[in-house]
Amino acid sequence: MLIVPEALIADLVSPEDAYEAVAATFAAMARGEAYNFPVVREALGEGRQYGFKSGLDRAGGMLGVKAGGYFPGNMARGITNHQSTVYLFDPDTGRPVAMVGGNLLTALRTAAASALSIDRLARKDARVLGIVGAGHQAGFQLRAAVRVRKWERVIAWNLHPEMLPKLAEVAAELGLPFEAVGLERMVEAEAIITITSSPAASLMAAHVSPGTHLACMGTDTKGKQEVQPALVGKARLFTDEVAQSVSIGEAQHAVAAGMVSDADIVPLGAVLTGADAGRRSEAEITLFDGTGVGLQDLAVAAVAVQRARERGLGVEVSV
């Protein structure tokens, strides 16, 4: 099996690669060619979470699991709060194929999913991007979003304002005017990305204008929440995986409140295959509930393995 360490990933997988891999995976899921296994996610105490996301893409020859979690104390130790590793297996034999560092891959595949939703669901004339959150993932989200629309400016809010300058640096690097704003100013945005680890809603229905696209990317566990359920209830809902959206995604709260059910939520893959037309009007609020699926992880890890093999990189071991 090939070990592809974290340090190699940046040279092996680009944001464009991640975008293509995630789009192909969502489409394969929508065609029923690939499926995710139920997520295992456990609280370890003191805010730490650990779990396993896995799946099978038979046509793509991918079987595997991402083991990883969220360790909020890591920043103080100089390492990122997310720590994960992807393991790939041969779907015909079960033999291990590769072990791949999953930290950068997670950020790339998450930002790719968000950008994909913006590309397919936001209005074509969207020019103001709102970001709620300014942690590790936020910069990746912004970098991916610039690839799919011609943004004229970025407005951002974060509960901890001292984290915003780092996001402002990314915007400056991308040549985009950046302004830290109160949540009430999010009405100026035509697309809003939420990427926080919040346990309670920050973004309310009153903060969002008609016609806005929301990419809600932070809620990936039971108990997290970024958006007011009433906003979820009035939006047209899309997701990566319906089963995850209603249980560990942003929709969990609106489902619990009886405002929406599984039948109201469309897999983004159905938009990619043309089975669903996506946005129906300029005034509709669309919301992508990006919960993060195992198949996304396998898809980007497979790209890393293929590139590493082509270039003779990584460490081959017998197991």
Q: Which residues are catalytic?
A: 66
The nearest distance, CB 81 to ligand NAD, in angstroms, is 4
The nearest distance, CB 290 to ligand NAD, in angstroms, is 5
The nearest distance, CB 266 to ligand NAD, in angstroms, is 17
Please state whether beta strands 265-267 and 62-70 pair in parallel, antiparallel, or not at all (unpaired): unpaired
2/194 with CB nearer ligand NAD: 194
Contact 238, 268 (CB under 8 A): yes
- Tokens 């993932």, located at residue: 137
28/215 with CB nearer ligand NAD: 215
Q: Assign residue 211 a region: left if phi > 0, alpha if psi is -120 to 50, beta otherwise?
A: left
Question: What is the token pair recorded at 216?
Answer: 């809600």
Tell me how far apart the alpha carbons of residues 181 and 201 are, in angstroms, rounded to a whole number: 17
163/204 with CB nearer ligand NAD: 163
58/160 with CB nearer ligand NAD: 160
Residues forming the site for ligand NAD (CB under 6 A) = 70, 81-82, 106, 110, 133-138, 158-160, 163, 195-199, 202, 217-218, 220, 224, 290-292
The nearest distance, CB 1 to ligand NAD, in angstroms, is 25
Contact 223, 199 (CB under 8 A): yes
The nearest distance, CB 265 to ligand NAD, in angstroms, is 15
53/307 with CB nearer ligand NAD: 53
134/142 with CB nearer ligand NAD: 134
Q: Which residue has its beta carbon closest to ligand NAD?
A: 135
The nearest distance, CB 127 to ligand NAD, in angstroms, is 24
Residue 145 C-alpha from the chain's centroid: 12
